[in-house]
Homo-oligomer: A and B are copies of this chain.
Amino acid sequence: MLSKNQIKFIKRLGQKKYRLAEGYFVVEGVKTINELLQSHFELHQLYTTESFNIDAKTENLISEADLKRISFLKTPNKALAVFNIPKPNQVDCEGLIVALDDVRDPGNLGTIIRLCDWFGIKDLVCSKQTVDCYNPKVLQATMGSISRVNVSYLDLSSFLNKAQLSIFGAFMDGDNVYQAALPDKGILVMGNEANGISKTIEAEINKRIAIPRFGNIQVTESLNVATATAILLSEFRRTQ
């Protein structure tokens, strides 16, 4: 049985201010929880309908009805875990880094974290206005990749200004990425869904790149930020 306080504690972790205050986040689903258990993430409490065979102090066997009361999902997936939010590591400037300038959509951030994991990007640097990576909707889209990518929330302008690296930015009117020389060390900046890269951040960028449009070039559409990140990361990596 869950106490009222337990339910309240978990539900509050859906909000960023409580996550920051408490230092915990919630993750759901057997597969993702298992991946995090095998990582450096520290488990606080597990609520599950089927035992994970971990120590009884941390594991709470609960009914499906109880799981429904604490879950953030429409269809809860057997288990919900509360983990400690780890302190991010120092950004490692020896490889390719992805930086996000106010990406707001949780699904986009989740997809970008998963892409970083796939393409071996160790560090994702986010502006402070970027959606929180411990938001339940972000975690649902990352599928465990969150344990393999170091996500830091920094003053992006000052970080870029101090970084001794080439800084690439994705713009609609940048140079054709297929013809650009892409190093294996540098920073790739992706902008906000509606406004792209802000003027302040643009000032720090050395090289403006774009994905050419092959369809009707009269149409002023842009690619979604997550699919654009997929294509650009693939371009950076394929040359290695």
Contact A118 B213, CB 8 Å, known A221-B145, A226-B227: yes
Contact A118 B223, CB 8 Å, known A148-B215, A148-B216, A237-B214: yes
Interface size on A, residues (CB 8 A): 35
In the complex, A212 Cα to B236 Cα: how many Å? 13
Residues of A221-236 contacting chain B, CB below 8 A:
221, 223-224, 226-228, 230-231, 234-235
In the complex, A214 Cα to B235 Cα: how many Å? 12
A positions within 8 Å CB-CB of B:
107, 111, 114-121, 143-145, 148, 178, 211-216, 219, 221, 223-224, 226-228, 230-231, 234-235, 237-238, 240
Whether B221 pairs with A234 at a CB distance below 8 angstroms is no
In the complex, A111 Cα to B211 Cα: how many Å? 16
Whether A223 pairs with B115 at a CB distance below 8 angstroms is yes
Whether B114 pairs with A221 at a CB distance below 8 angstroms is yes
Whether A119 pairs with B215 at a CB distance below 8 angstroms is yes
In the complex, A119 Cα to B111 Cα: how many Å? 21
In the complex, A117 Cα to B224 Cα: how many Å? 12
In the complex, A228 Cα to B117 Cα: how many Å? 14
Which chain B residues border A143 with CB–CB below 8 Å?
Answer: 221
